[in-house]
């Protein structure tokens, strides 16, 4: 008997059966790629111009009254201390230092800013290195620079090199520095100190660092790589306000101590405010 070979038909051929479905899938993939390309963000000249304007607004120096308002809000939100109008009125024009707008508020210009804040007596106050009995006691700086970290304190000290050749500025932070070493250095004349809140307060508490000559505290508003500053880094923020409330606040109210906010103040969240305003209008 002759056997007839049965050839698979085109309909039963698996390769041929899959072919019709492959074409549309390829088309779909191509369409998806096209849609992705169409969704890519494009920046026009107007967008760049708007970004430049917003950056410029953040860098503009704030007036003395704006800085005072900012500081008082930080004070109230952090430790619940509210300065009354009666307390504020005698000191509102002099408690916050208004820096020159001609100089940027960066590390290299810090020395020049402090020099101008001290007026005509800047050389006697900041540069001379000999203690004067009854007038300039050892361990009593005229200026304290407070920042969020030891590294930042060192950076700011480099900006003060021109003022500290005769009388070196004192490092007031804990990294690689023992309290005993700092106590020894504070037995000499100190014009400028730069450090972190916790170590500054510790040296004040043990009566190694004096405040009888202190005229100005410079509060560094610089933000680190993570966006934190002296007022926002959680633990440091608490330590600073503890230091301020304990050692500085009463002196500010008495008018014997000035505050210098150094660096750009955080910009107000304008977009959120605009949304709230629109909701209120609706």
Residue 64 sits at the vertex; the CA angle it makes with 62 and 66, to the nearest 5 degrees, is 55
Per-residue model confidence as pLDDT tens digits over 172-221: 999 889 999 999 999 999 999 999 999 999 999 999 999 999 999 999 99
Q: How far is CA 102 from CA 61, 63, 159, in A?
A: 10, 13, 17
- What is the maximum alpha-carbon separation in the chain? 133
Per-residue model confidence as pLDDT tens digits over 75-99: 999 999 899 999 999 998 899 999 9
Instruction: Look at residue 77 and give its three-state secondary structure.
Output: helix
Identify the bridge partners of residue 171 per DSSP, sorted by sequence position. Answer: 194
Per-residue model confidence as pLDDT tens digits over 37-63: 444 444 344 433 333 333 334 456 688
Q: How far is CA 98 from CA 64, 66, 94, in A?
A: 5, 10, 9
List the single range of 4-13, 67-76, 272-281 with lowest mean pLDDT.
272-281
Name the pTM for this structure. 0.73
Q: Which domains does the chain possess? A: 62-78+86-124+138-260 (3.40.50.300)
Q: Does residue 282 register a pLDDT over 80?
A: no
Query: How far apart are alpha carbons 139 and 208 in whole angstroms?
Result: 7
């Amino acid at each position: 008997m002759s056997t007839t070979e049965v050839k698979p038909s085109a309909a039963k051929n698996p390769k041929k059966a899959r072919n019709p479905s492959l074409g549309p899938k390829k088309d779909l993939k191509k369409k998806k790629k096209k849609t992705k390309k169409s969704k890519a963000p494009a920046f026009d000249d107007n967008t760049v111009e708007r970004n430049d304007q917003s950056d410029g607004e953040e860098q503009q120096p704030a007036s003395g009254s704006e800085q005072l308002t900012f500081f008082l809000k930080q004070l109230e939100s952090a430790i619940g201390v509210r300065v009354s109008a009666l307390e504020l009125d005698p000191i509102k024009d002099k408690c916050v230092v208004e820096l020159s707008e001609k100089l940027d508020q960066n590390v290299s210009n810090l020395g020049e800013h402090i020099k101008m804040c001290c007026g005509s007596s800047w050389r006697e106050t900041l540069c001379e290195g000999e203690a004067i009995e009854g007038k300039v006691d050892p361990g009593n700086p005229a200026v304290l620079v407070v920042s969020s970290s030891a590294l930042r304190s060192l950076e700011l000290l480099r900006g003060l090199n021109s003022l500290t050749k005769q009388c070196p500025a004192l490092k007031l932070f804990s990294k690689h520095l023992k309290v005993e070493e700092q106590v020894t250095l504070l037995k000499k004349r100190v014009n400028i100190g730069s450090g972190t809140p916790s170590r500054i307060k510790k040296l004040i508490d043990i009566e190694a660092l004096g405040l009888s000559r202190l005229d100005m505290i410079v509060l560094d508003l610089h933000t680190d790589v993570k966006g934190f500053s002296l007022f926002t880094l959680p633990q440091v923020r608490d330590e600073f306000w503890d230091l301020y409330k304990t050692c500085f606040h009463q002196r500010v109210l008495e008018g014997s101590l000035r505050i210098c906010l150094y660096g750009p103040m955080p910009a107000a969240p304008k977009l959120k405010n605009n949304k709230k305003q629109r909701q209120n209008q609706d």
